[in-house]
Amino acid sequence: MSFREGRFRTPPEFNTGREHEYSLFDQVDVNAPEFVAQLKKYAADSGNRINRRDAIQLAKDFQPGDPEQPTKQFFNDLRIEIMDKLDDADIDAEVKAYTAVNTPLDIAYGTDAFITIEVDGREHVVTLDATINPEKLSRGHKADILVGNIPEPNEGPQAEEQYLETVEQIAALAIKELRNKMSGGIQTYRAEPFDM
């Protein structure tokens, strides 16, 4: 759908979906020589495909910062809210937040970011996909949670309240996904082609 047709408008602060993803989650430097070399290794080991597990590991290995303190406010606030909800439920867990923007996990598996939640020595992954495209809601998505527009918290008390409510709602969805995965809700993923 064309932006010029006027049927789909992006928020004024974002020109593209990619900018929206970056504003929420940051991004991996996919042009770094080390990243490219590791990507080629994974692809060579898998017949020029990259499986989901390797795509997750690749994103983990090349984070732009500390997954226990993401630099983007929304992502850090989401991680903290998830930790608070787990603590309220008396679940002892380690929570980390990883960007996957521009990586094979984003391109082949529709995942812009993911949260790892380690409980009792077992890591669970909850995936996120950011979009400014309202049609994506109706046609489906690959990630566990779809993240749309996030209110800007610095635009006054009402906007801050909406922002906090949105973070809380997304954290609740993440906890629901975690509980599903812990109770045996298993998802299977096939290796996707990824052209280099």
Quote the pTM value.
0.83
What is the average pLDDT score of the chain? 83
Statement: residue 3 has pLDDT above 70: no
Which residue's entry shows tokens 């080991």?
A: 45
Residue 116: phi, psi to the nearest 5? -105, 135
Question: In this predicted structure, what is the pLDDT of residue 38?
Answer: 92
Question: In this predicted structure, what is the pLDDT of residue 46?
Answer: 73
Question: In this predicted structure, what is the pLDDT of residue 15?
Answer: 55
Question: In this predicted structure, what is the pLDDT of residue 62?
Answer: 97
Question: In this predicted structure, what is the pLDDT of residue 67?
Answer: 97
Instruction: Report which of residues 46 and 120 the model is more confident about.
Output: 120
* Cα gap 103→98, rounded to integer Å: 11
Q: In whole angstroms, how far apart are CA 100 and each of 55, 57, 59, 170?
A: 9, 10, 6, 18
Average pLDDT over residues 115-130: 92
Q: Taking a C-beta distance cutoff of 8 angstroms, is the pair 119, 96 a contact?
A: no
Q: What is the pLDDT of residues 53-75, one digit of tens each?
A: 999 999 999 999 999 999 999 99
Q: What is the pLDDT of residues 131-154, one digit of tens each?
A: 887 776 666 668 899 998 898 888
Average pLDDT over residues 160-175: 94
